[in-house]
Structure 1
Amino acid sequence: MVRPISEPAGFSVPALRRGDQAAFHALFLQFYAPLCYFTERLTGDREVALEIVSDVFLKLWQKRAGFNHLLSIKSFLYTAAKHASLNYLRSNARRQHRRAAFERAFPSEPVPAPVALMIEIEMMRELDQVIRTLPPRCGSVIQFYFIEGLSTREIAERLSVSVSTVDSQRQRGLKLLRAALGSKALRLLLEMLPGV
């Protein structure tokens, strides 16, 4: 049996729904520190955790009219913090993967970090431009697979198509990318992406 959550002093769901800042502040005081701890444990970074929790509370304020009880608010706060933390970790892993691929591609040339980042950004911009010229479904599959790192099954579900359709569209997209960029450039770009 789930124990009911006691409302913080000065808080009520109807007041929050009306936009009462005192009610929001009471809720903030109740959950801010535990959410920061939770998020920092997930991300391993205090500054990132503080930023994520601030964003989560902003989202709560924006969606306040949709909540009917404190338990749903608490659930929203922790779920949103968890998803934002996982998104941060995925994004950070992609950046590290791209940087390592770039360093493998140019091992004998030490490149200052800002220059390497500029080169990486330019390469990603060029890849994005070429992906935009692909047929729509083919471009979506390439974007989901190589840029966002989704699995073939996840892409099939998202696009409401079969796994074999995703595979054929991915092969078609790679062929078109190879023609547009050349084999060596495409190989370097794909090596920098998390989905490969």
Structure 2
Amino acid sequence: MILGDHHTFEEFKQGNLAAFEKFFEYYKRPITLFANSILKNRPEICEEIVSECFVKAWTRRADFENEGKLQAFLYVVAKNACFSTLKAAHNNNHIDIASLSEHTLKEDPYIVNHLIREETLALLRKEVDKLPASQKHVIQLSYYENKDIPSICNQLKISSNSAYANYSRAVSTLKKKFQNKKDWLF
């Protein structure tokens, strides 16, 4: 999941706070979800960790070659901070480390799968936003709001044939967009 705005990235590297805020808003949620997956829903600690990640990224902003390197840096710093937090909590007897699942303490396919899922959903949302308005509305109502065809027809004031046609065109377009990325996604 990359913002993909080269101009904003260059401004970030040069110290532009508005560019930093764009990256913060874009990456804050996925990094927080990632930290939560390791720390098992300790939101106050995750919030601190995410803040630390961005402070470190800001101080090292000139070192990043591209946004992909920034993204990788944020995840690595978050992972290391989470593991340090778990280790410190164990040493201070705040948590029983034996009660944590084994996968929390090492590299885990779950974490990787979670990241891939988040990035895939972000890519999908981007592609849905590019669809023509009629197709976009049908897909959004169907998938994001979990509405059935009669509800969609009522809300958009269209016939069921029109709803099915827009849905079919949208799915076909999305399949074509992701066809080349199939190996990466799966």
**Taking structure 1 as the reference length, what is the TM-score of the superposition?**
0.45
Highest Rg: 1 or 2? 1
